[in-house]
Amino acid sequence: MRIDAISIFPEYLAPLELSLIGKARQEGLLDLRVHDLRTFTTDRHRTVDDTPYGGGAGMVMKPEPWAQALESVLDAVGPSNGHPPADNAAADGSSPVQSNRPPTLIVPSPAGEVFDQRMAHELASREHLVFACGRYEGIDDRLLDWASGQFDLRPVSLGDYVLNGGEVAVLAIVEAVGRLLPGVVGNPDSLVEESHADGLLEYPVYTKPSNWRGRDVPEALLSGNHAGIARYRREQQLIRTAARRPDLIARLDPDALTGVDVDALLQLGFEVQSGRVVRASGD
Ligand code: SAM
């Protein structure tokens, strides 16, 4: 996968050189490039923002430096119509990205679609992600209109709160997407059992010692009985999800639940009604 991230604070993205993502880059699983938006300005002060039309607080990012930056990314990877550039080499010396679909342009924004594990899987199937990190009051909206002609445009929010810039969203999204790419996480089984993989939160986990400060590891995990451990963990997933994220319980597909799940949910105050999991009425 190729990823380009454009920001006025490229240093903010230095953590992407660390840990599993850094290793994936070194091993060539991820071709990740960070660009300084100010490189694409033309004035002496390298201006990227100006006052908002209509008045109001704060500054707005000018569209032209963004268009220049995004065009340079497109030029670097070559056309996305299924045909590689004539000399089969990208302008910046990297491998051209050959795809039938345009690159996905992720514009972090509190006004975007909320990022979740489903979106992480979807983005992990793309060949080329481009991130445009806004600052100030955001980017002139005409840039998004222009970019939607060249990219698959995705305004994406990390959640219902406001950050100072899009860089934290890039760190979060690249980490969540990157670990889904083949070879990035050493044991692919760990992706199958974790939170959100099946619509539930992960069960609690424990390690040695079996007694720590007077607290025992649950007996079921010490039994060596694999079926019993699986049953215990599934029940714990349901208990934890019902307590912490009842909204996720309401989104479960009843057809994917076993009879044991349905019984456990009933104990937790949920029942299946008209093909949906709902809070039990209690009568
Ligand atoms: N005026 C904007 C609004 O109310 O929608 C907020 C601008 S915010 C101060 C500056 C930048 O931070 C945004 O352009 C976006 O790139 C980023 N940002 C802020 N909150 C975010 C969130 N919840 N998810 C993703 N990016 C966010």
**C-alpha pair distances (Å), 17 with each of 27, 34, 93, 275:** 12, 11, 21, 46
Percent of the chain past pLDDT 90, that is, above it, reads 86
Closest C-alpha to ligand 1, atom 6: 137
Dist. CA 240–CA 194, nearest whole Å: 13
Dist. CA 196–CA 176, nearest whole Å: 12
The verdict on the CB of residue 129 being under 6 Å from ligand 1 is no
- Contact criterion met (CB below 8 Å) for 96 and 73: no
Point out the least confidently predicted range of 22-26, 46-50, 105-109, 278-282: 278-282
Closest C-alpha to ligand 1, atom 12: 165
What's the gap in Å between 169 CA and the centre of ligand 1?
9
Residue 82 pLDDT: 39
> What mean pLDDT is reported for the chain?
93
The HSE-up count of residue 4 (CA atoms within 13 Å, CB side) is 23
**C-alpha pair distances (Å), 102 with each of 77, 127, 130, 225, 249:** 11, 9, 11, 50, 36
What's the gap in Å between 6 CA and the centre of ligand 1?
15
* Amino acid residing at 167: E
* Amino acid residing at 116: D
Q: Which of 13, 106, 109 to mutate to test the pocket of ligand 1 (most atoms within 8 A of CB)?
A: 109
**Tens of pLDDT, residues 196-212:** 888 999 999 999 999 99
Point out the least confidently predicted range of 29-33, 157-161, 189-193: 189-193
* Amino acid residing at 88: N
DSSP 197: T
Closest C-alpha to ligand 1, atom 19: 163
Q: The whole model's pTM is what?
A: 0.91
Listed in sequence order, the residues at least 6 apart from 276 whose beta carbon sits closer than 8 Å to its beta carbon are 250, 254
Dist. CA 61–CA 52, nearest whole Å: 9
- Cross-strand partners of 114: 157
The verdict on the CB of residue 154 being under 6 Å from ligand 1 is no
